[in-house]
Chain A
Amino acid sequence: MASITLNNIKKTYEDGVTVIENLNLEIKDKEFIILVGPSGCGKSTTLRMIAGLEEISDGELKIGDKIVNNVSPKDRDIAMVFQSYALYPHMSVYKNMAFGLKNRKVPKEEIDKKVMAAAKMLDIESYLNRKPRALSGGQRQRVALGRAMVREPSVFLLDEPLSNLDAKLRTEMRSRISMLHKQLGTTFVYVTHDQTEAMTMGDRIVVMKDGVVQQFDTPQMLYNHPKNMFVAGFIGSPQMNFIDCMVKRKGENYFLSFGNYEIVLPNRMNDYLVMYDNKEVVFGVRPEDLSIVKGKDEVNSFDLYVDIAEMTGADYYLYGTFNDKKIIANVPSNNNIKSDKKYKFKIDIDRIHIFDKINERLICD
């Protein structure tokens, strides 16, 4: 059982390319942490540095209270599940799982007990004697988990473990892994590029881009209070809508004006907007915070020509274009909506996010 601390971690490859600069993370014991971001953002590199597979160029990495920068992977008390599973192709499932224990000179009966217990938990008892190539993707995935489990490590590292599975299996494995985390009660660090996985599984999520942590927070906070446009756009599906607009002031009230429309902002935002009077900003609103209204003179609304209306069951996804930008709205399907028609949409002003146009940081929400 261990916490993980990354202090000013830096990673520069031999060819001089720096992929991570000054990374700081504080992962608590027993937490389920997700590292998420687009490919090339440094999330896998970070995980591999924690594992000891990648050298740390500068900074300090602690597992528990121990600095492990120069400790080899086998002595870090970690286990890892790889994207490709990395099962030993020439060993049976049983041997794959027992291998790490055997190397650590664990007595035979104990190995047997641990492997059988893990196999039972993962429903793989019936093919312990098979070789990995005789298993399906989902079964291999479970063997890889089992191999990590039997070691009873204090830290569990998972590198995109579900990305090679089909959609249905992925959903199933997601809950299985969450459950596993609860049962094992150890620290999990999980890398993925899929924000849905991140949102559904993590206690806290690290959103990364270009080797920099954009935000480290709980799923709720990331969704409701993203700190910048990248996080706002990356978390949530379908994506948040972004609309360029101008900040205007009339007496005590601030407005956002875009096209022929204006929306009145709540007074609590006033302090933040002082410096932005008459300046361009971007406001973001999630698809579900747009709703269709009928009345002619509704405030805080705008007209949108709906090109495509997708019925997904309970909801409609409505796609339109506003000022050359794609806009998506998500409305309940009890509205009777047709494509190729203009509708009036009301913006929930309590749920809008205003961003600086230049540095893309949140101004207020």
Chain B
Amino acid sequence: MNERKRLSNTFSFSFLLLLSVVFLFPLYLVVINSFKSKFNIISEPFDFPNENTFVGLENYINGINSSGIVGAFIRTAIITIGSVLAIVVFTSMTAWYITRVKSKVNKIIYYLFLFSMIVPFQMVMFTMTDVCYRLGLNSVLGIIPVYLGFGSGLSVFMFSGFVKSLPREIEEAAMIDGCSPIKTFFYVVFPILKPTAITVAILNAMWIWNDFLLPYLLLGSADKTLSVAIQLTMQGAYGAIDWGGFMSMLVLAIIPIVIFYLLCQKYIIKGVIDGAVKG
């Protein structure tokens, strides 16, 4: 019995190890090709770089110089950080208010937020673009309120769920201790909401960092973000693509995500589970 169990465990382990290799292979392929000469990528995609094909950092230098990826990287970071901050602060405030103050209006607002979660982006894509251009929201900073609007559904929903489970007494104690509602929220409620705030921040950061269509429509190529930059490089090339430079762009786009993931893995996985269970 024990012998059989050990055998089956060894088998499972080997299988998982093999599967890990399969899972990592696509990434491995991109990384090795990013160090190969652009002429060898398409002809010998699986080969490891050798003395004939290895070009060092040439692809990276070309990629960075020609695609504007550094600017795209900075813009994506600004948009992601700004939008996530706005979403976490404003939607938690809204969720607390509409959960604590019972009124018909607040109930309707809550259900509108819920409703927005099931509407696919294509439904509002054209009209939203039109409205945002009219209001001048088609800029790196202007897109932040747009993300606040689109992110509010899930975020308000998640914060509300948590606020409902909070005892009111703590807030009442704060009111008696001399806090105004604003102070009660920021000094007492928000610190207690922190775990949910982290979850909400991670879910929104993953979405905004990777988002393509919204920044493509609002910012286009003038203020391109990372995803837009990658798509435009491919789309505009019509076959005359610098594969080496393109590989380096993919690697550069993946690296920050992998670092972020390895650093905050615990929170990310917890956030994703919470988000899934609630959403």
Contact = CB atoms under 8 A, between A and B. Distances in A.
Contact of B176 (A80, A83, A88): A80
B173 A82 contact: yes
Nearest to A103: B178
B63 to A, nearest CB: 46
Chain B interface size range: 10 to 19
Contact of A103 (B183, B191, B194): B183
Interface in A106-163: 147, 151
A90 B173 CA distance: 14
B178 A86 contact: no
B172 interface: yes
Interface in B179-201: 179, 183, 187-188, 191-192, 194
A147 B179 CA distance: 15
B170 interface: yes
A74 interface: yes
B272 interface: no
A31 B174 CA distance: 26
A74 B192 contact: no
Contact of B174 (A52, A84, A88): A88
A86 B173 contact: yes
Contact of B173 (A14, A72, A80): A80
Contacts, number: 58
Nearest to A89: B192
A153 to B, nearest CB: 9
Contacts of A79: 176
Contacts of A72: 175
Given A89-B192, A100-B177, A82 B172 contact: yes
A74 B179 contact: yes
B176 A73 contact: yes
A99 B169 contact: no
A175 to B, nearest CB: 25
A59 B13 CA distance: 75
Given A88-B188, A89-B192, A90-B191, A74 B175 contact: yes
B178 A104 contact: yes
A82 B191 contact: no
Contacts of A177: none
Interface of B: 102, 167, 169-170, 172-179, 183, 187-188, 191-192, 194
27 contacts: A51-B176, A53-B172, A73-B175, A74-B177, A74-B178, A74-B179, A78-B176, A80-B176, A82-B172, A82-B173, A83-B169, A84-B167, A84-B169, A86-B169, A86-B170, A86-B172, A86-B173, A88-B170, A88-B188, A88-B191, A90-B192, A99-B187, A100-B178, A103-B177, A104-B178, A147-B177, A151-B177
Across the A-B interface, give the 9 residue pairs with the lowest CB-CB distance, nearest first: A103-B178, A100-B177, A86-B169, A90-B191, A86-B173, A74-B178, A82-B169, A86-B170, A73-B176
Given A82-B172, A84-B169, A89-B170, 10 more contacts: A51-B172, A53-B172, A73-B172, A74-B175, A74-B176, A74-B179, A86-B170, A86-B173, A100-B176, A104-B178
Interface of A: 14, 51-53, 72-74, 78-80, 82-84, 86-90, 99-100, 103-104, 147, 151
